[in-house]
Amino acid sequence: MARSLAGWGSGLLGVLIFSGSLPATRVAVASLPPLFLTSARATIAAVLAAALLRILKQRRPQRSDLPGLAIVALGVVVGFPLLTALALQTVTASHSIVFIGLLPLTTAIFGVVRAGERPRPAFWLFSGLGALLGSGFAVVQGGRGSWQGDALMVAAVLVCGLGYAEGARLSRRLGGWQVISWALVLSLPAMAGLAILTRPPSFASTGVPAWAGLAYVSVFSMLVGFVFWYRGLARGGIAGVGQLQLLQPFCGLALAGWLLGEAVPPLMVAVTLGVVACVAGARRFA
């Protein structure tokens, strides 16, 4: 029980950190190209991760771990950041959060496929209801969208759910921060090369907000958040703790309203309470 509660607490902290990702990305892509932003954030995080691995003298992963680490890298280091950065050129941060509400469900599904978890039937009821509440609210509250941006966000949610589940599976043996660190190091050569190739000819028009957005997604979204998130998934269960992501849209909407001036209606409070109830129900039956 104590291990499970610690997992849920760690997962919640990860979700709070991740909630700033889309608003920060939205600010950054206003001045920085999406490909450069994706590769630069991964490169910065990978350098920090490599330093941590060396300082703390962590053993290298086994050869059998490499396919799983490659899935994590493709899903959460490259896929999700790139696809969301491309999507946020044509949709608002608040509109993109429509799709983040589907992440808990996709994570749970991949947890069944990749990690062999078997939640009880009632879990899927609460998970589906929570996804409908979160996504339905985001649809009603509006936000500028396009079919290209929506398609990119759907793809982002799928690869992210796979990366979360695979990383959590590996975390049970390697440790949470070690998994994301090795995945970042694995992707470093490609991401560093891409950052050089896609570097803008000039940064003269890049303001402080864009640099702050890049710093946030590099340090917190790409590294620190995963330390808590993978630990939470590994200790509390992928399907169960993954439902905490249902709270991420509301945290993200609040940040989008505060930082970007995007509309956040009062109805959000009532729907948030409903989502919290769904998370509690999913936790009980996970």
pLDDT of residue 262: 59
Range 2-27 burial, b when 16+ CB lie within 10 A, else e: eebeebbbbbbbbbebbbbbbbbbbb
More confident residue, 212 or 120: 212
61 is in which domain, residue-wise? 2-285
pLDDT tens for 176-220 read 889 999 999 999 999 999 999 999 988 888 889 999 999 999 999
pLDDT tens for 78-95 read 998 889 888 878 777 666
Model's pTM, two decimal places?
0.80
d(CA 85, CA 33): 9
More confident residue, 124 or 165: 165
Tokens representing 266 are 């009062």
pLDDT of residue 104: 77
Q: Give the CA count within 13 Å in the CB-facing half-sphere of 255.
A: 21
Q: Which residues contact 134 (CB under 8 A, 6 or more apart)?
A: 100, 101, 246, 249, 250, 271, 275
pLDDT tens for 247-265 read 776 776 676 666 666 565 6
Total domains in the chain come to 1
- Residue 32 gets which letter from DSSP? S
What does the mean pLDDT of the chain come to? 82
Q: How confident is the model at residue 276 (pLDDT cuts 50, 70, 90)?
A: low
Q: How confident is the model at residue 12 (pLDDT cuts 50, 70, 90)?
A: confident
